[in-house]
Amino acid sequence: GAVVSQHPSWVICKSGTSVKIECRSLDFQATTMFWYRQFPKQSLMLMATSNEGSKATYEQGVEKDKFLINHASLTLSTLTVTSAHPEDSSFYICSARDFGQTGRNTEAFFGQGTRLTVV
Amino acid sequence: KNQVEQSPQSLIILEGKNCTLQCNYTVSPFSNLRWYKQDTGRGPVSLTIMTFSENTKSNGRYTATLDADTKQSSLHITASQLSDSASYICVASSGGYNKLIFGAGTRLAVHP
């Protein structure tokens, strides 16, 4: 089956620094990837839709200058949390869909998630 | 407003027992209904996907049902195992490929 790989699985950083999270589709080309944020005991909240070769589409209330998204290739999207603060501590998850294969195009594959702790 | 509501919020059962999780959705236009299993600290893993024309779909010990008229879905777990302890998330897909509406999940704990 399709695999979406996310790295790192956890990171601890100091307040004010930036952190980059990578999301890779391993066996298909993903023109679109999605970034979610999840707080403890809550559901996934869509932050932004990452489009290969163009600007990301951010959900209302998500600061695009705070959460930089780059989708430079068909298999890689990155989320950079800039000038991180403790309130940015959360579980970040990426997702991708394989629109290239009939029968699999409705499936959403999720990465393993990244636990960010800002101290 | 598109939304997905799940019940119960949490559930504890003994190993070997069955359980049923509920999901009500208000999504328009409706495309499909998904159930995911999310282990603590991990990303969600797909269990089933059903379109409006499908009433039931099984994946091993997991059986999902869908009533598109009442906009309700359920996930039945048979002969539970300790490894079934996780959050189960109901997700409704609206319109095109991009919009997934997530429920808050049901946290299931299976005890020996």
Task: For residue range B40-50, list pLDDT tens digits in order.
Answer: 999 999 999 99
Give A54→chain B minimum CA distance, Å.
Answer: 16
**pLDDT, mean of residues A40-50:** 91
Question: Nearest-5° angle of CA B18, CA B106, CA B80?
Answer: 25
Contacts of A44 in chain B (CB under 8 A): 44, 89, 102
* Separation between Cα atoms, residue B20 and residue B71, nearest integer Å: 16
**Cβ-Cβ contacts under 8 Å, A99 against chain B:** 97
Confidence tier at B98 by pLDDT (50, 70, 90): low
Q: What is the mean pLDDT of residues A60-72?
A: 93
First and final CA of chain A: distance in angstroms? 37
User: How far apart, in whole angstroms, are the C-alpha atoms of residue A29 and residue A92?
Assistant: 21
Residue A87 to residue A84: CA distance in whole angstroms? 8
C-alpha distance from B26 to closest chain A C-alpha (Å): 16
Q: Closest-CA residue in chain B for A115? A: B41
**Residue contact B89–A106, C-beta within 8 A:** no
Instruction: Identify how many contiguous H helices and E strands chain B contains and give both numbers.
Output: 0, 11
Contact between residue A94 and residue A111 where contact means Cβ atoms under 8 Å apart: yes
